[in-house]
Amino acid sequence: MSSLALDAEALYGELLRGVPALLTPTTRLVGIVSGGQWLAERFHTDLRRDGAAGAISSAMHRDDYAKRGLAMGGQTTLPFDIDGADILLIDDVLYTGRTIRAVVNELFDYGRPARVRLAVLVDRGGRQLPVAAEFAAARVVLPATQSLQLARAEDGAFSFEVQTKG
């Protein structure tokens, strides 16, 4: 565990304040499994949006699928038509951009959206692909030896776990 202290609930509040400027009445929220899915579900409820938020998995389109397989868990569930839709992807941590690339590939397996944008809780830099979030509640720098993951307690409260790879 690292000494980095990020208040995930406070950052969620920033997301809740900042992202509505990106939304139209027809924008569809799609959370990236699993942390982004939790955020999108709570965000959808807190903003009293109609219908349900979608969930999208990067597992089938990852460039490291042979090594990881379906270990990420979770399935893609898009309870609305993707064709012509305005999509806001929501994720917990943006790092290399590889997950976003995989998710966009998955999204296009379901149709052709009119627009796809991205909002994240934390942008940690370190991009390997040209991917940028339209909104990030925080920007932090972590060494490549550390990972940052959103956790959700039984009561729904968010927190971050920082782990050292080694």
From residue 2, give the alpha-carbon distance in Å to each of 12, 49, 141, 160, 162: 21, 37, 13, 11, 6
- The Cα 67–Cα 54 span in angstroms is 27
| pLDDT of res. 160 | 95
| pLDDT of res. 127 | 95
Handedness of CA 161, 124, 56, 62 (dihedral sign): negative
| pLDDT of res. 120 | 98
User: Which CATH number applies to 8-164: 3.40.50.2020, 3.20.20.450, 3.30.300.90, 3.50.50.60?
Assistant: 3.40.50.2020
Query: Can you give the residue ranges of every domain in the chain?
Result: 8-164
Tens place of pLDDT per residue across the chain (166 aa): 344 679 999 999 999 999 999 999 999 999 999 899 999 999 999 999 999 999 999 988 867 655 555 555 689 999 999 999 999 999 999 999 999 999 999 999 999 999 999 999 999 999 999 999 999 999 999 999 999 999 999 999 999 999 998 7
Cβ partners under 8 Å of residue 78, min gap 6: 30, 54, 55, 56, 110
- The Cα 113–Cα 42 span in angstroms is 23
**Where do we find the tokens 């499994």?**
33
| pLDDT of res. 30 | 98
| pLDDT of res. 74 | 80
